[in-house]
A and B are shown apart, each in its own frame.
Chain A
Amino acid sequence: MSEVKYSKEHEWIKLDGEEATIGITKHATEMLGDIVFAELPEKGSHVDKDGTAGVVESTKAASDVYTPVSGEVIDTNQMIVDDPSKINEDPEESAWFFKLKIKDKSEMDSLMNKEEYEKFAKETSA
């Protein structure tokens, strides 16, 4: 069974063995508004926990995308680069950003579960 966790930077991460899929939350897309541009990390590159691993831009502004855990980028989602509006439509499923091969599962420990994240998102957007 896969485990989904959430970061304070509004990314979600789904872990399947050593493979993690990462995207931004529905709450993040609602704050950003219409997304019109997405930039993803290079396949094969290494990203560090809490470091930048992409960019999304709405009509209003650019925002960095952070990775909640460290690892090697093994796949990126070209669909969202070709049509960034997909991120608004389906942020937590088909519009994932990148997949990582992770080394240290314990980096997941500091992240929030769904319930904790929903509380966090509600408090911080109030």
Chain B
Amino acid sequence: MSIKKTSLNNLHIKYGAKLVEFAGYQMPIQYKYGIIQEHKYTRSHSGIFDVSHMGQLFISGGDDLTNELEKIFPADLKKLKTNQSKYSFLMNNKGGIQDDLIITKTSDGFLIILNAACKYNDYEVIKSKLDNQYKLNLDESLSLIALQGPEAKNVLNKVILGCDSLKFMNGNNYVYKNEKVYITRSGYTGEDGFEISIKNSDAETFVESLIENGSKLIGLGARDTLRMEAGLCLYGNDLDNDTSPIEANLKWAIPKSRIETEFVGSEVLKNQFQSGVKKLRVGIKPDSKVIARGNTKIYNDKNQEIGKVTSGTFGPSVEHPIAMGYVDNSYSTVNTKIFLEVRGKKIPANICNLPFYKKNYVKGEINV
């Protein structure tokens, strides 16, 4: 299979991107400024992320779409207002996560944003669970661009007027160059920001106009350090087919109204709600400067293995190594002393609260 390029590929090259293959796409890992500068620019100004490799799945049609989708996803879709978004999961029968995703109610159905590496499989799984009256469109004629950071709203408002009135986890239709764009206020950095779904042919000029208004392109490297500081999970690292949303400490994303109802994996989740889980995702802060990456083994003070790290890096804004991982539930309390095995040595660390970096999302119209 040949490697795919997003509609911004020429722009990545123009701005000096180092390109790598990611989920079958040629993507920018960083630009000429480097990961730390890009990370800090996003936190202090605003950053543009090409996330066009992610799936934009539109589902419409039929008489009973909301009910049918509630049999698949553990979200409260009946309560969702038009243009409102929720974080949810596609699970397997064992309660494991096949993908984590954002569902938005649109005027004629639902839009689901899927991880790049999972999108084709997700499409098949969801299609197999819906009958033919429902229309699924994994729309590859659209690009997806995230604009994140404290200046995101001002920058975007200069290009598309009025979008700064959107509330967090809400979206709406706007017009750019006489074409419809769909914008949601959301993101993956721990900053206020937007995700803009735009026609492939308009993506390049749109991004250039964001750059002209003071924003900069940011690569996947900084996207990863930003999301880790924000305590957010990366599918494939922190979430997988053998991990449930409860174990992943994402219980907040399963609404109480759905616990007693049926959806894929609901039996397992119900059980875990009642009797708890054996392992739990936690934040981890090493005492020293040593970085514990994914797959680092975690030990207790009696040298017994109690879990493993799933993501770890140096946090450029918190200026300290950070990690997250899964530990035996009895070690999940904040401030529990643990040890990380890095290059044969046991490095002391503590269980800590997530996120490492405090969020700055916009709720209502007030910046909190």
Which chain A residues have a beta carbon within 8 Å of chain B's beta carbons?
A: 33-34, 36-37, 39, 55, 57-62, 81
Contacts and interface: CB of A to CB of B under 8 A. Distances in A.
Nearest to B288: A37
Nearest to B313: A59
Interface string B319-337: 0010000000000000000
B291 interface: yes
A33 B289 contact: no
A39 B290 CA distance: 9
Contact of B29 (A39, A55, A60): A60
A55 B314 CA distance: 15
Given A33-B34, A34-B34, A59-B316, 18 more contacts: A33-B30, A33-B221, A34-B36, A36-B36, A36-B314, A37-B291, A55-B343, A58-B35, A59-B35, A59-B39, A59-B225, A59-B313, A59-B314, A60-B35, A60-B221, A62-B291, A62-B293, A81-B289
B291 to A, nearest CB: 5
A37 B35 contact: no
Contacts of B293: 61-62
14 contacts: A33-B34, A34-B35, A34-B36, A34-B37, A36-B321, A37-B289, A39-B290, A57-B314, A58-B35, A59-B314, A60-B29, A60-B35, A62-B291, A62-B293
Contacts of B36: 34, 36, 59
A126 B314 CA distance: 28
Nearest to A64: B343
Contacts of A81: 289
Contact of B221 (A36, A37, A39, A59): A59
User: Which 8 A-B residue pairs are closest in the complex by CB-CB distance?
Assistant: A36-B314, A34-B36, A59-B35, A34-B34, A57-B291, A34-B35, A37-B291, A59-B225
Contacts, number: 39
Interface residues of B, number: 18
B291 A36 contact: yes
A33 B35 contact: yes
Nearest to B39: A59
Contacts of A37: 289-291, 314, 321
Nearest to A85: B36
Interface in B174-193: none
Nearest to A34: B36
Contacts of B39: 59
Interface in B269-308: 289-291, 293
A36 B320 CA distance: 9
B229 to A, nearest CB: 11
A27 B293 CA distance: 24
Nearest to B342: A62
Contacts of A62: 291, 293
Nearest to B316: A59
A42 to B, nearest CB: 12
A36 B313 CA distance: 9
Contacts of A60: 29, 35, 221, 313
Contacts of B343: 39, 55
B233 to A, nearest CB: 18
B313 to A, nearest CB: 6
Nearest to B36: A34
Contacts of B291: 36-37, 57, 62
